[in-house]
Amino acid sequence: MEENTIEESYTGSASLSPIPLSIGSPVIRPEDKNKIKANAVEAMHHYANQEIGMLKKQADLIMSQVREIEARLKISEHIYESNLKFTPVVNQVYHLYEKDSYYNLSLIGPEEWGRSRTVGKYLASVKLLGDHSWDVIKKAENTSI
């Protein structure tokens, strides 16, 4: 039985031939499918890792914001547990002190007391925000708040 060659079986246009049909035709080499797959997998991993890195940065930012809100809630709870003798005003700076396990909020800063400081240990300077939580403006050294 005589073998049929591709040259004999291809009947389409010479410009679309999958094989060279004459000596002057350009060389057509089969594609290395393993190389194509390896390049595709490498590109896929590269772009996936870029996206994962970006999402991790976003997650870190979100967690940082969560910690800031939790800290605001903690200080706000301490302030609202304190003995408030006045109505705080939004955007006003106040000063938080601790004495005998009680918290006191004052308009008077730690440098303004002079020798008559009786409100206790200075913890932080805080500002009332519009949502009625408190933002720490300045924190005393060695304080857990």
Residue environment code for 103-120, b if the CB has 16+ CB neighbours within 10 A, otherwise e: bbbbeeebeeeeeeeebb
The single-letter DSSP state of residue 27 is P
Please, what is the average pLDDT of the chain?
84
Position 53 scores a pLDDT of 97
State pTM to two decimals.
0.60
* More reliable by pLDDT, 59 or 23: 59
Residues in the chain: 145
Give the per-residue SS3 of 66-127.
HHHHHHHHHHHHHHHHCCCCCCCCCCCEEEEEEECCEEEEECCCCCCCCCCCCCCEEEEEEE
Sign of CA dihedral 7, 11, 14, 18: negative
Tell whether the model's pLDDT for residue 58 goes beyond 90.
yes
Share of the chain above pLDDT 90, in %: 34
Asked if residues 103 and 78 have their Cβ atoms less than 8 Å apart, the reply is yes
Tell whether the model's pLDDT for residue 74 goes beyond 50.
yes
